[in-house]
Amino acid sequence: MALSSFFETCTPSTFSLSLFGAEIISIQASVITNYTADVDGGDRFTAPSISLQNASFCNVTVTYTHPGYEDGINTEAWLPVDNWNGRFLAHGGGGHRAGRFPLSTQGMAGAIHDGFATITTDAGLDFSQEVMVPWALLSPGNVNLHKLQNLASTSLNDLAAIGKSLIKSFYGRPPSYSYWNGCSQGGRQGLMLAQRYPTAFDGIAAAAPAIYWTETLFNIFWPEQVMRMLGEYPHMCELDAITAAAISKCDGLDGVTDGIVAEVDECRANFNPFDLVGTVIPCAQTHTNIPISRAAAAVANASWGGIVSPTGEQLWYGLSIDADLTCNGRSAGQLCVASTNCADGNCVPVRNPLGSQWIQHFVSKDSNFNLDNLTHEQFASLFRASQQQYTSIIGTSDPDLSEFKKAGGKMLTYHGVADGIIPLKHMEVYYRKVSEVVDGVQDFYRFFPVPGLGHCMGGYQQPTSLFAQLQAWVENGTAPESSPVSFSGPDGVVQNRIICPWPRKARFNSSCGDAAKAECWACLAPSNHGEPSLDEVREVKKGFKKGAKKGKASYSNLHPSSPGIQHQEL
Ligand SMILES: *[C@@H]1O[C@H](CO)[C@@H](O)[C@H](O)[C@H]1NC(C)=O
Ligand SMILES: *[C@@H]1O[C@H](CO)[C@@H](O)[C@H](O)[C@H]1NC(C)=O
Ligand SMILES: *[C@@H]1O[C@H](CO)[C@@H](O)[C@H](O)[C@H]1NC(C)=O
Ligand SMILES: *[C@@H]1O[C@H](CO)[C@@H](O)[C@H](O)[C@H]1NC(C)=O
Ligand SMILES: *[C@@H]1O[C@H](CO)[C@@H](O)[C@H](O)[C@H]1NC(C)=O
Ligand SMILES: *[C@@H]1O[C@H](CO)[C@@H](O)[C@H](O)[C@H]1NC(C)=O
Ligand SMILES: *[C@@H]1O[C@H](CO)[C@@H](O)[C@H](O)[C@H]1NC(C)=O
């Protein structure tokens, strides 16, 4: 079809749409020309930076409702008029948003650049106040479960069906292949699609997925809860100094000193933050030298250890030891778990709304619920209530991906090892569970931990080749055995590396000579010390109980060193 006729075809009457369970309210369509955008690879998660110049596409917005639910959902599709590659690529959301927000706009510009027809949905959620969730409560005490369900799952299947239908109407044929790309909330959406709508997409890039949703959101609040139980709010410089000490102590564990910790579990087992208590450090927040407090060590320790019950039982997994807890480092510009504000000399926690809003709006169901003085018992009880009420709706932790496998789907997940919001650990646990339930997981789903990378993006080793590799896997059957990444090392020299499908790890071949060359690295099976054990969950729990017996984890009566942590020279 000639270019001019695509322009003529871009009108609402071209698109006849019917969707089971939905009533279409309106379809808007208009040609957009001269669309220009520069998009960084980090904002595309799995694809390289691009510069889109003077693009033309048909912008189709479909508004629909699920009759009886009184919702109104907007999907926005961009259909290229002159360079369609025959394929479909849907974009996910972030934070508490389903999509149709600044990052999905960036992703869609990237998709248009590469010739994809692309789409995103707002799931019918009102986001007048950025990460706020004004849609959560119909009235005090009454959660809008239909909207939560739209965010969790329903809108995703709708999106796939609407996108495919618009493409067929516009180009006269369905897409040859359909893809999903998202990180965080968008990663969770990708996994929900594989779990619940296994035929919707052929290829899914689901990065740093916010699966185990209810536990993850409590985990985000946990460091603040610990500070409040202690009644002490450490300066960010103290936490930053602890993180920096851990990184510098453990950087070389993989045989290469490059500012990146590859062996985070070994590091955690051999690093005791309480050893640093009393060490005097220069503090950016006070402009003086101050000693690292015991509270700072306790907050770091709790952020790495994850949520524990009042009796010391581990309830959830913590962050890696190199995670940026304050957003002063690699996660600058994001929302961290242990930021404080000491502007008037009296430090207070900087609340991360992702966790607190979940607890307030969805679990206590009261937007005025005060989270300032929760006891450990109250916190643990809310944690359990959240699991009971919401895991089946939005937990997104079903490991049975057999239907997705049977449908021929392929999926890739990357997760920043230094993710400061969503623990790498939970991805290891999920992937291990999938491999226990479905045979041959590596044949359709591969998981790439990315050493040094924070949450979704952040300059270190962004895996921008993964999307093309997913396409090659779907379309040509070529599974990704590794993926190239690069970053600027401590001395400014560009380091070319590879990331590997878990549980394999990138190992430096020292006889090859140059750690800056990707060809001097290979993906090898984990050595015994790094091997993730299949019984890890149980072992961690046992270890915790043992420790708890000796001296129970009390936040008002801190012990100088934890019974579980060994001292060892590295
Ligand atoms: C938009 O692009 C067309 C060519 O597609 C060009 O003729 C026109 O001048 C451009 N308009 C603007 C405002 O840049
Ligand atoms: C984009 O359009 C502008 C305005 O029409 C023009 O000045 C510019 O050269 C165009 N860029 C490309 C890459 O075509
Ligand atoms: C596409 O159309 C919708 C509805 O009119 C509008 O809100 C949106 O901003 C448009 N997108 C672009 C890129 O212009
Ligand atoms: C440090 O964390 C470990 C593991 O999470 C925990 O067992 C221990 O009680 C903590 N130590 C202190 C003093 O809080
Ligand atoms: C919570 O505790 C703080 C002191 O830690 C106190 O100032 C405040 O009044 C308490 N708030 C409530 C609602 O109890
Ligand atoms: C599939 O393989 C062909 C032939 O090698 C190649 O031209 C094409 O780019 C590949 N497609 C993808 C998506 O990698
Ligand atoms: C390591 O590098 C050397 C020199 O380039 C090469 O001969 C050798 O095959 C490599 N070893 C492995 C295991 O890749």
Pocket-forming residues, ligand 7, beta carbon under 6 Å: 509, 511-512, 522
Tell me, using a 6 A CB cutoff, whether residue 305 lines ligand 4: yes
Out of 71, 122, 158, 419, pick the active-site residue. 419
pLDDT for residue 527: 63
pLDDT for residue 529: 41
Are the CB atoms for 317 and 426 separated by under 8 Å? yes
Tell me, using a 6 A CB cutoff, whether residue 563 lines ligand 4: no
pLDDT for residue 4: 64
Rounded distance, CA 435 to CA 442, Å?
A: 8
pLDDT in tens for each of the 570 residues of the chain? 556 677 899 999 999 899 999 999 999 999 999 999 999 999 999 999 999 999 999 999 999 999 999 999 999 999 999 999 999 999 999 999 999 999 999 999 999 999 999 999 999 998 765 546 789 999 999 999 999 999 999 999 999 999 999 999 999 999 999 999 999 999 999 999 999 999 999 999 999 999 999 999 999 999 999 999 999 999 999 999 999 999 999 999 988 999 999 999 999 999 999 999 999 999 999 999 999 999 999 999 999 999 999 999 999 999 999 999 999 988 888 889 999 999 988 999 999 999 999 999 999 999 999 999 999 999 999 999 999 999 999 999 999 999 999 999 999 999 999 999 999 999 999 999 999 999 999 999 999 999 999 999 987 899 999 999 999 999 999 999 999 999 998 889 999 999 999 999 999 998 998 999 999 999 999 864 443 333 333 333 333 333 333 333 334 333 222 222 222 222
Please report the beta strands in 287-368, taking only residues with DSSP state E, as ranges in sequence order: 288-291, 340-341, 348-349
pLDDT per residue over 150-195, tens digit each?
999 999 999 999 999 999 999 999 999 999 999 999 999 999 999 9
Which ligand minimizes its atom distance to the CA of 511?
7
Tell me, using a 6 A CB cutoff, whether residue 53 lines ligand 2: yes
Task: Report CA(78)–ligand 2 centroid distance (Å).
Answer: 20
Three-state SS for 47-105 is CCCEEEEEEEEEEEEEEEECCCCCCCEEEEEEEECCCCCCEEEEECCECCECCCCHHHH
Q: Known catalytic residue: 455?
A: yes
- Taking CA atoms only, the protein residue closest to ligand 3 atom 11 is 59
pLDDT for residue 536: 35
- Taking CA atoms only, the protein residue closest to ligand 3 atom 4 is 61
* Count of CA atoms in the C-beta half-sphere (13 A) of 436: 11
Q: Which of 502, 468, 430, 417 is nearest to 194 (CA)?
A: 430
pLDDT for residue 329: 87
Rounded distance, CA 305 to CA 341, Å?
A: 24
Q: Where are the domains of the chain?
A: 3-212+400-453+461-478, 215-391
Task: Report CA(241)–ligand 6 centroid distance (Å).
Answer: 48
- Taking CA atoms only, the protein residue closest to ligand 7 atom 12 is 509
Q: Known catalytic residue: 56?
A: no
pLDDT for residue 133: 75
Does residue 499 sit in helix, strand or coil? strand
Task: Report CA(480)–ligand 6 centroid distance (Å).
Answer: 14
- Taking CA atoms only, the protein residue closest to ligand 2 atom 13 is 53
Q: Known catalytic residue: 184?
A: yes
Q: Which CATH class is domain 3-212+400-453+461-478?
A: alpha beta
Type of residue numbered 368: N
Give the length of the chain: 570
Instruction: Return all residues near 431 (Cβ < 8 A) that are at least 6 apart.
Output: 413, 441, 445, 447, 502
pLDDT for residue 534: 35
Q: Quick check: bond before 526 cis, omega within 30?
A: no
Which ligand minimizes its atom distance to the CA of 77?
3
Mutation probe of ligand 3 site: the residue of 26, 34, 54, 76 with most atoms within 8 A of C-beta: 76
Tell me, using a 6 A CB cutoff, whether residue 475 lines ligand 6: yes
